[in-house]
Amino acid sequence: MKQVFTYSAIILIVLAFSVESANAQRWNRYKKEFGISVGGSNMLSDLGGGPGDGSTFGDFQLENTRYAVGGFFKYRFHDRFAVKANLVYGQLFADDKTTENEGRKSRNLDVRTNLLELSGQLEFYIIRERIGGNYKIQGVKGYGSSNFAMYLFAGIGGAHFTPQGTNQAGDWVNLAPLNTEGQGLEGAPKDYSQLTMVFPVGLGMKYNITREIGVQFEMGMRFTTTDYLDDVSTQYYDGAAIEAAYGSVAKEMADKRYTSPGRFSEGGIRGKDEKKDVYMFGLLTLTYRIKSKPRSRIRL
């Protein structure tokens, strides 16, 4: 009887270690994952905002939220770490009519910016989901699964953006070719690129419906190296010179002020070029994990 008890204890100990080891390594079976995302976008730029000086987190305006769609492919190389290739297309929007700042309201500029972003990101899981067995056995550690996970992410990437503004007829006009701040003319800033580097950072939460299928919500900021997501950065340029160089539409879109010193006058602050633009995505994603085929232990 004593031997039976001893052998049973040994078997239970071995089984417990085996289960725990299997649970710790089971993430290896689901290293690859992809997802399809829908959500919203918003922008902190020189346009719109609260009563402050613009481009700060206090200038966030929910009513300026627009759409975003995307997808990703993820590779999990560690229990707590994964790398992800992320592609997102979205629209950013800002309008001086929505601001509480009277100076910016009288400027009367608006923008919608279509943006395509490609980035690489590193995820760190502060709360890991555990992929366990199909059934939960009371008192046996390692069985079953914890369906919830939380992670932080950071990365680097690039984005192409196309800012547009409304003309007097209410039509959307591409702004970058118009050189609305006199780009290329004497004393004006250089023409800006419609490509920018982006640095995503944020937080994500995930719930696994099954071993393969899950849903996640991710909120992330994108810090950029441009101040022209809204086509606004520096000073007003002389309207007559803009019209002579780039045409009447460029002159119209360069200055839409309501009040004195009036439209088409030279000088005056149009934007704050010391602050780079920031945008953000909130994305709800349906995910699918690809189960890896087990390696054969038989070698010939």
Q: Which of 230, 224, 285 is nearest to 86 (CA)?
A: 285
Question: What is residue 284's predicted lDDT score, i.e. its pLDDT?
Answer: 98
Q: Is the pLDDT of residue 58 over 70?
A: no
Query: pLDDT band at 16, cuts 50/70/90?
Result: very low
Complete domains list, the chain, with CATH = 34-128+149-200+217-289 (2.40.160)
Angstrom distance (rounded) from CA 271 to CA 69: 29
- 221-278: pLDDT as tens digits: 999 999 999 999 999 999 999 999 999 999 999 999 876 556 666 678 888 767 899 9
pTM over 0.95: no
Q: Which of 242, 233, 215, 256 is nearest to 106 (CA)?
A: 256
